[in-house]
Every structure is written in C-alpha cells, then in structure tokens.
Amino acid sequence: MATSVKKINTKSKAKKKVEIGRIYISASFNNTLVNITDEEGNTLVWGSAGASGFKGTRKSTPYAATTAVEKVVQEAKDNLGLKEVEVFVKGPGPGRDASLRAIKAGGLKISAISDLTPMPHNGPRPKKKRRV
C-alpha cells in the first residue's frame, strides 16, 4: 500500500505596508477606472464601476464612480495601511468630481491633485466642406 503525501504550499505573499501612494482615476463617458499604486508606480489595488457591479448606462454615473472608489480605498487602507495619496485624474467623464469626494470621505489625506487629460494642440484635419 502506497501512502499519500499531501503537498503543503509554503509560498505566502508578504503583506506590503505602504503609507504614501498614488491614485490614478480614468473617467470616461462609459466607465470610471481607479488604480492605486505605490510611489514607484507598481499597482497595489484597482477597481472600476463595472467591477463594482454596475452594468450598462449606470456605469457612467457619479454614484457608480463613488462606489468604485470607496471599495478600492477601503481595501487599500485595510490591507496596506495607506494614509496619504496624490491623485491623478484623466478624462472628461461624470466620475471626476465624485471620485475625489469619495477619496476624501474614505479618510485618505490628499496631498496633490493633477489633471492628466490629454489636450490636442491642433487636432486632426477637419472634414471637407459640405457641398449642397
């Protein structure tokens, strides 16, 4: 009779403690993406309005953005000990202001807010003039 040996998984992730981080918010017209990184830019926690359970047009609401940010901020505070953040906002969507309010309400200290929205200097060539 052969005896069975159970293999024990010895690998375990050491929990990283990060007190100062960065939050990148991408607010499009259809969704709001939230990404929390450390100071080097390594992703620690991420989320979105879609990942928070919203579907369709409800994803593009300020309430969905608030819910997504609250969920991600709470996870970062509990698991990583995050206390202070720099916020980088990108995009024209309705979740811009709501996400900033949610970060403040979540108990994180905001040290800086930057707008990374791309602005065209001249833009693409316009369409030809319409002839009627």
Pairing of strands 43-48, 32-37: antiparallel
Query: What is the chain's percent helix, strand, coil content, to nearest 5?
Result: 25, 25, 50
Q: Which residues pair with 34 in a beta bridge?
A: 25, 47
Q: Which of 11-15, 98-102, 124-128 has the lowest mean pLDDT?
A: 11-15
* Residue 120, both tokens: 């065209």
Q: 45 falls in which pLDDT band (50, 70, 90)?
A: very high
Place of tokens 């005896």: 3
The pLDDT value recorded for residue 16 is 76
Average pLDDT over residues 59-84: 95
8 Å CB contact between 59 and 124 = no
The pLDDT value recorded for residue 18 is 87
The pLDDT value recorded for residue 26 is 97
Average pLDDT over residues 97-124: 94
Average pLDDT over residues 115-131: 92
Q: What are the structural domains, with CATH classification, of the chain?
A: 20-115 (3.30.420.80)
